[in-house]
Amino acid sequence: MTVSYFALYRTPDDPAEFERHYFGTHVPLVEKTPGLVENRVHRVLRHVVGSPSYHLIAELVFESPEAMKAAFASEEWKASGADLQSWGGLDLVTMFSAEPHGPADGTTASQ
């Protein structure tokens, strides 16, 4: 079963500069992480309710919790973390891991 690691980035003071570094430097580093199946980055189009306001949501998909754990021990992952710290990204981000809800085939109990 896949597992995802999410990074929710709050709206930065300078969105254009944030995206320049994020897509130009940070994403290429993250994508070198061994065991990463897919890196899905979503731009928030409209904030409806709640706080804080988010700018980008990254979903890093791994094939299993074990693969994710191994990836987090890799030098590539450590490099992406050091990059995140170097430009203040940690001040903007909330991170967590999650697994799909429902059977492994992606369906839900009501389908």
- pLDDT for res 84: 94
Reported as type and span, the H/E element at residue 83 is helix 75-86
Can you give the pLDDT at residue 88? 84
pLDDT in tens, 60-91: 999 999 999 999 999 999 999 999 999 888 89
The rounded percent of the chain whose pLDDT value lies above 90 is 77
Q: Which pLDDT belongs to residue 111? A: 44
pTM for the whole thing? 0.85
Residue keyed to tokens 């021990």: 73
Which residues of the chain register pLDDT less than 70?
103-111
Topology annotation, domain 3-98: Alpha-Beta Plaits (3.30.70)
Please give the Cα distance from 38 to 101 (Å, whole number): 18
Q: Any idea where the domains of the chain sit in the sequence? A: 3-98
